[in-house]
Amino acid sequence: VSRARARRGGARGGRVGYHHGDLPRALVDAALELIGRHGVRALTLRAAARRAGVSQAAPYRHFADKDALLAAVAEEGFRLLTAAMRETAQADGGDPLSRFRGLGLGYVSFAAGHPAHFRVMFGREIVERPPHPGLQAAGGAAFELLVDAIRDCQQAGIVRPGDPVALAVSAWSAVHGLSALVVDGQLDRDGPPDVAALAHAVTADLFLGLAAPRPAAG
């Protein structure tokens, strides 16, 4: 089976190659597959071009350089991340706490389901100077979801008072840390971990704290 020419039977009836199709899309897909299969070091512009069935120089018609391709991957990742968070937040129920927790569960679930995206988004593969426009903003959107949810919970008396941004940093740290540990295989000591169970435990601990219940509150 030749690799470069096996593009025909695509899910939505793609053309016989990308010569007049969507080469940027094909290159992003190729990048994700190379990273997912053999790590970030396996992503080369030339290999991505090969997978897409074009010459080594063709990518430069659509991306200024390798960083620009990585930035496209990261940007797509942030879009998918915020979408996943919003979806899980809605699915988890209408009350502010379920919404808040759903955001966290969506975050971890996105990372586990899209490790290649996650690595590019947070891995400093992009050397970029100055930061690609829109990328910083895309990352900020996910954080804003957390801050807003915390504000809602505070107004409902479910989360304790305090700067919602500071509390959001703690929440972000918890779900981001679990995600990073999962994606990096740091939790594989006894086989592949049950990511959903871990996410439920971590978000619960985040909310309740590790402290033993004290006799008097306040």
Alpha carbon of residue 65 to chain centroid: 22
Minimum CB–partner distance for residue 57 and a copy of itself (Å): 21
- Report the residue count for the chain: 218
Q: Which CB atom, from 26 or from 175, has the smaller least distance to a copy of itself?
A: 175
* Binding residues for DNA restricted to 40-69, rule: CB under 7 A: 43-47, 54-58, 60-62, 65-67
Q: Which CB atom, from 6 or from 201, has the smaller least distance to a copy of itself?
A: 201
Q: How many residues in the shown chain lie near DNA by CB under 7 A?
A: 20
Which residues make Cβ contacts (< 8 Å) with residue 30, sequence separation at least 6?
Answer: 47, 48, 49, 51, 52
Minimum CB–partner distance for residue 53 and a copy of itself (Å): 26
Residue with tokens 């995206």: 117
* Binding residues for a copy of itself restricted to 121-150, rule: CB under 8 A: 122-125, 127, 136, 139-140, 150
The 10 Å Cβ neighbour count of residue 169 is: 15
The separation between the first and the last C-alpha atoms of the chain, rounded to the nearest angstrom, is: 68
Q: Which CB atom, from 133 or from 157, has the smaller least distance to a copy of itself?
A: 157
* Binding residues for a copy of itself restricted to 166-195, rule: CB under 8 A: 166-167, 169-181, 183-187, 189
Minimum CB–partner distance for residue 3 and a copy of itself (Å): 21
Distance CA 183, CA 218 (A): 38
Which residues make Cβ contacts (< 8 Å) with residue 149, sequence separation at least 6?
Answer: 89, 96, 99, 100, 103
Binding site for DNA (CB under 7 A): 18-20, 23, 43-47, 54-58, 60-62, 65-67
